[in-house]
Homo-oligomer: A and B are copies of this chain.
Amino acid sequence: MMLDAGMESAIDAGAAIAPHDAVPSATGAATLHGTLLAQLRDYVVEGNLAPGARVPERLLCERFGISRTPLREALKVLASEGLIDLLPNRGARVRQLGHDEMVALFDVMGGLEALAGRLACEKITEEAYAEIERLHHAMYASYLRRDLHGYFAANQGIHDRIVAAADNAPLAATYANFAGRLRRVRYAANLDKDRDRWGEAMREHEEILDALRRRAGPELSDILFRHLRNKRRAAATQESAAAGA
């Protein structure tokens, strides 16, 4: 069900907590539960706990200075977001991404980006497009400089802005959820070791920008899905390389 994780209700209802749909770090938190949820989510997403590691209630209560009740509520929500697993009578564990699940998550990301691209073509303003174009050129400059950090920042900025341009709160929330789940893997997708992929990604981004400029929704949708598929392939390759090393 998912089941997915949230911010749109927080936006719609003002103060409502909707972790599933809310962009994690953007969740306004007037309540302890809301604050704690955001903190704990960041704590997990940032990788402070090793994958598969037990999530000890007691320690986290001390760390955040709260009692077990709100913590346990937050853990239930994080489980519904897919960040942790709850084992009956055996506590919570940081979810560990196996190969199959990683592949599945990348495909959903691809579907969400494809959707975002299509919607963005319908709704994007000229200003928002110009900003994406600017980021694209900045990204290209970083690519030429082999500036991985700058490249990543611009790259993520582009994808985020496409999602934002789609102007669809539930989509943005779901996207944020999946991005959080894949965050660790995505950072691991180190282009530095795969120059071919880097060039390929850059060419794909040329196509993305072109389709977006023409407001070619279905076309952009398809390009974005294939773009994510290739990103998935690169990540999987890296994964197996890491396993072999």
Chain A residues within 8 Å of B, Cβ to Cβ: 1-6, 8-13, 15-24, 27, 30-31, 33-34, 48-56, 59, 69, 72-74, 76-77, 79-82, 85-90, 93-96, 98, 101, 104-105, 107-108, 110-112, 114-115, 118-119, 168-171, 173-174, 176-178, 180, 218, 221-222, 225
Contact = CB atoms under 8 A, between A and B. Distances in A.
A18 B76 contact: no
A88 B16 CA distance: 7
A13 B73 contact: no
Contacts of A110: 115
B176 A1 contact: yes
B111 A80 contact: no
A218 B224 CA distance: 12
Identify the 7 closest CB pairs spanning chains A and B, nearest first: A111-B115, A20-B80, A5-B53, A3-B20, A5-B50, A20-B82, A16-B85
For the complex formed by this chain, how many copies does it contain in all? 2
9 contacts: A3-B24, A3-B54, A3-B81, A4-B81, A4-B173, A8-B101, A30-B88, A82-B173, A170-B178
A51 B16 CA distance: 14
Nearest to A52: B5
Nearest to A181: B170
A108 B178 CA distance: 14
Contacts of A52: 5, 10-11
Contacts of A111: 111-112, 114-115, 118, 171
A109 to B, nearest CB: 10
Contacts of A34: 88
Contacts of A51: 5
Contacts of A48: 2
A85 to B, nearest CB: 4
A118 to B, nearest CB: 7
Nearest to A169: B104
Given A15-B87, A170-B178, A81 B2 contact: yes
B31 A170 contact: no
A221 to B, nearest CB: 8
B108 A115 contact: yes
A51 B3 CA distance: 10
